[in-house]
Amino acid sequence: MAGQSIDHAFTATDDRSAAADPTYAGALSFMRRKYTKDVAGSDVTVWGVPFDSAVSNRPGTRFGPQALRRASAIFDNDPQYPFARDLFEALSVIDYGDCLIDYRWPERAHAIIRDEAAQILAKTGFLLTLGGDHSITYPLLQAHAARHGKLSLVQFDAHQDTWPLATDDAGALRVDHGSFVKAAVQDQLIDPATSIQIGIRTHAPETCGIDIVGGAELEEMTSAAISAKIYERTGGTKVYLSFDIDCLDAAVAPGTGTPVAGGPSSAKILAVLRHLKNLQIVGADVVEVSPPFDHADITAIAGSTVAMYLIGLRAEKAAG
């Protein structure tokens, strides 16, 4: 390591370069990517949204972006499994840091997230957001739909998030992580006919016309069959992929606000993601990692691995 510097997140001179930081030391950006607010020309921008004022059960996901970055340090710039390549040789990836949200005004958060996401999307090739509770996907969908048009939603989750919407006397929408899908359908941000939810293990009043692969059905299917169903449902359309960590079984992802037993292993869902290399994913998030309820970072490790896979899929495409 002679001649190499530590704190690659700050000292990197090239956003495609590998880091030399030990996995246990150095500034913690996502996968040691360079911290910068200059996203122009980047292939992927990683962004944290530390917001958890819309949870219905256990709070703590405001600490999710920090935990996901910390867990990603284990990816120590060897060729990443299963992609067998340095993901950054053909892909420019930067860490934009976090969205600034005033905790005293939670009702203003979604507009702040939407507007900043739109600014980032105007200059980067792809936005990968680290949450935060699942309500942040609504303003992210607003920003992505404004850029790409109506999208297909591929949602990995234990919950449908289609609960009825509520507004105040002035007509402002209540901030709620359990109704963002309902809001996205109502606002025509997503097309229910080409959208799918994977891993659902709870009931909601309606499906909004979205296809559902429930937990019991998922258990009987192979990863290839699950991915084939995703391809069939989305039909070559532009996809926004949202990964709620509670899609995974509570035994392998306890650090979340609304854990549900009976879910798949991380191995199975990562295998599904590996099959999605030809899906037209135009944006993605990993949400609902709640470190206060985690143990030995196992939930954060699972979440950061999902995020790494999403980058890996793009690296494969970039490499040809």
Binding-site residue numbers for Mn(2+) are 134, 157, 159, 161, 244, 246
* Strand positions, DSSP E, the chain: 34-35, 44-49, 93-98, 127-131, 152-156, 196-200, 211-214, 239-244, 281-287
Mean pLDDT, to the nearest integer, of 295-312?
97
Least confident of 25-34, 50-59, 138-147: 50-59
Over the stretch 205-227, which tens digit does the pLDDT of each residue have? Answer: 999 999 999 999 999 999 999 99
Model confidence at 15, pLDDT cuts 50, 70, 90, reads confident
- Residue 43 confidence (pLDDT): 97
Q: Using CA atoms, how far apart are residues 237 and 152, in angstroms rounded to an integer?
A: 7
Model confidence at 54, pLDDT cuts 50, 70, 90, reads confident
Q: Pairing relation of β-strands 281-287 and 44-49?
A: unpaired
Higher pLDDT, 74 or 171: 74
Distances in whole angstroms, Cα of residue 136 to Cα of each of 35, 62, 91, 108, 132: 22, 11, 26, 12, 7
- Residue 154 confidence (pLDDT): 98
Binding-site residue numbers are 134, 157, 159, 161, 244, 246
- Residue 2 confidence (pLDDT): 47
Packing angle between helix 298-319 and helix 266-274, nearest 10 degrees?
A: 10
Evaluate if residue 164 carries a pLDDT over 90: no
- Residue 174 confidence (pLDDT): 66
What's the token pair of residue 280? 């037209």
- Residue 20 confidence (pLDDT): 79
Model confidence at 175, pLDDT cuts 50, 70, 90, reads low
Higher pLDDT, 10 or 146: 146
Return mean pLDDT, the chain.
93
Burial 206-243 (b: 16+ CB within 10 A, else e): eebebbebbbeebeebebeebbebbeebbeebbbbbbb
- Residue 315 confidence (pLDDT): 94
AA letter at 139: P
Distances in whole angstroms, Cα of residue 295 to Cα of each of 71, 180, 247, 267, 291: 12, 28, 17, 18, 8
Report the DSSP beta bridge partners of residue 286: 130, 243
Evaluate if residue 3 carries a pLDDT over 60: no
In Å, how far from its chain's centre is CA 72?
Answer: 14
- Residue 25 confidence (pLDDT): 86
- On whether the CB atoms of residues 302 and 255 are closer than 8 A, the answer is no
Over the stretch 137-155, which tens digit does the pLDDT of each residue have? Answer: 999 999 999 999 999 999 9
- Residue 214 confidence (pLDDT): 97
- DSSP letters, 168-235, are -TT-PBPP-TTSHHHHHHHTTSB-GGG-EEEEE-S--S--TT-EEEEHHHHHHS-HHHHHHHHHHHHT
Q: Using CA atoms, how far apart are residues 293 and 60, in angstroms rounded to an integer?
A: 8
Higher pLDDT, 266 or 168: 266
Domains of the chain by range and CATH?
A: 30-319 (3.40.800.10)
Evaluate if residue 1 carries a pLDDT over 60: no
Least confident of 2-6, 218-222, 246-250: 2-6
